[in-house]
């Protein structure tokens, strides 16, 4: 088994971690509350990025997060529900500010959400907390229905198009039917990963995985295939597309930096 390496302080908090690709993450803590106050990714490199956090006095919830290019402030109600999120751009002198707001019903569920541009969406729920109606800022209504196990079984969009869903006993989605005609069917491996997907056209996709259950390939019923190469951290560093004959039709490779970000993509068609 491939593992990362880490150092711990006496109370079990990780202060330095080396990931599968050698990238170093350092963390400073509020030891009394066991909450991180500073996280630096790509430590000891020119790519180092530091994120700082301040925390609510009562709830283990952030009140201010500062990261390269922006800061985000949060406020909460007496129950710990998020009521405002204020993002300030720190990359420019203008310091652009955007704020989103939320209000809640007696169940503690979001009743209204207000975007930075003032657009308001409204939500209604059943007694079990399942979303049954969503109304966007333009007044468009989407309705939802559920079975006794709280699985979504139908969705009616603002145009009246109904999508229905079926599920197995393990809560896996089995079918999705749009407008009573277009059905997509899914099957699963014993591990719970998606095995096949049959599209409304009848075309079938088969999915393959490595021993860690990470997706490594997709093949259609004509034999066309996409193969993924993963690094130790699970990042896709190469994609090869092959014809039924096995001939390579397209290939891409990705360069990943110490922070897990894509730095370079090369390939051909």
Band of residue 259 on the pLDDT scale cut at 50, 70, 90: low
pTM of the model: 0.78
Digit-coded pLDDT (tens) for 175-189: 999 999 999 999 999
Give the C-alpha separation, 133 to 146, whole Å. Answer: 12
Query: Is 193 inside a domain boundary?
Result: no
Query: Is 4 inside a domain boundary?
Result: yes
Task: Give the closest residue to 197 by CA, choosing from 219, 212, 171.
Answer: 219
Q: What is the mean pLDDT of residues 77-90?
A: 97
Give the C-alpha separation, 257 to 42, whole Å. Answer: 9
Query: Is 184 inside a domain boundary?
Result: no
Query: Is 125 inside a domain boundary?
Result: no
Band of residue 95 on the pLDDT scale cut at 50, 70, 90: confident
- Please determine, for residue 88, whether its predicted confidence score (pLDDT) is greater than 90: yes
Q: Specify the pLDDT at position 269.
A: 44
Band of residue 2 on the pLDDT scale cut at 50, 70, 90: very low
Query: Is 5 inside a domain boundary?
Result: yes
Digit-coded pLDDT (tens) for 30-49: 989 999 999 998 888 888 99
Residue ranges making up the domain that contains 43: 1-55
Query: Is 79 inside a domain boundary?
Result: no
Q: Specify the pLDDT at position 268.
A: 56
Q: Specify the pLDDT at position 262.
A: 74
Domain count, the chain: 1
Q: Specify the pLDDT at position 5.
A: 58
Q: What is the mean pLDDT of residues 231-256?
A: 87
CB atoms within 10 A of CB 244: 11
- Please determine, for residue 215, whether its predicted confidence score (pLDDT) is greater than 50: yes
- Please determine, for residue 145, whether its predicted confidence score (pLDDT) is greater than 80: yes
Give the C-alpha separation, 4 to 27, whole Å. Answer: 16
φ/ψ of 166, rounded to 5, equals -125, 155
Percent of the chain surpassing pLDDT 90: 73
Q: Which residue has the higher pLDDT, 158 or 24?
A: 158
Band of residue 77 on the pLDDT scale cut at 50, 70, 90: very high
- Please determine, for residue 10, whether its predicted confidence score (pLDDT) is greater than 80: no
Q: What is the mean pLDDT of residues 240-254?
A: 89
Q: What distances in angstroms separate CA 77 from CA 80, 101, 102, 180, 213, one per listed residue?
A: 5, 12, 10, 43, 40
Query: Is 192 inside a domain boundary?
Result: no
Query: Is 222 inside a domain boundary?
Result: no
């Amino acid at each position: 088994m491939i593992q990362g390496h880490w150092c711990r302080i006496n109370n079990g908090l990780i202060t330095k971690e080396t990931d599968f690709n050698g990238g170093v993450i350092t963390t400073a803590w509020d030891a009394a509350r066991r909450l991180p106050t500073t996280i630096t990714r790509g430590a000891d490199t020119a790519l180092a990025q530091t994120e700082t956090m301040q925390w609510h006095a009562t709830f283990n919830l952030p009140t201010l997060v500062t990261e390269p290019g922006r800061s985000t402030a949060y406020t909460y109600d007496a129950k710990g529900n998020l009521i405002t999120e204020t993002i300030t751009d720190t990359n420019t002198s203008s310091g652009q500010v955007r704020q989103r707001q939320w209000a809640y019903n007696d169940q503690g569920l979001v009743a209204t959400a207000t975007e930075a541009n003032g657009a308001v969406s409204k939500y209604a729920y059943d007694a079990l907390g399942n979303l049954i109606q969503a109304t966007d800022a333009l007044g468009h209504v989407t309705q939802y229905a559920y079975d006794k196990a709280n699985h979504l079984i139908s969705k009616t969009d603002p145009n009246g198009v109904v999508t229905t869903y079926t599920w197995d006993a393990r809560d896996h989605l089995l079918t999705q039917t749009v407008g009573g005609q277009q059905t997509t069917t899914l099957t699963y491996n014993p591990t719970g990963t998606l095995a096949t997907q049959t599209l409304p056209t009848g075309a079938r996709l088969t999915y393959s995985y490595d021993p860690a259950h990470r997706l490594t390939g997709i093949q259609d019923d004509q034999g066309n295939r996409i193969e993924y190469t993963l690094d130790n951290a699970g990042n896709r560093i190469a994609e090869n597309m092959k014809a039924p004959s096995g001939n390579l039709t397209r290939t891409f490779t990705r360069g990943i930096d110490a922070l897990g970000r894509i730095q370079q993509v090369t390939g051909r068609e």
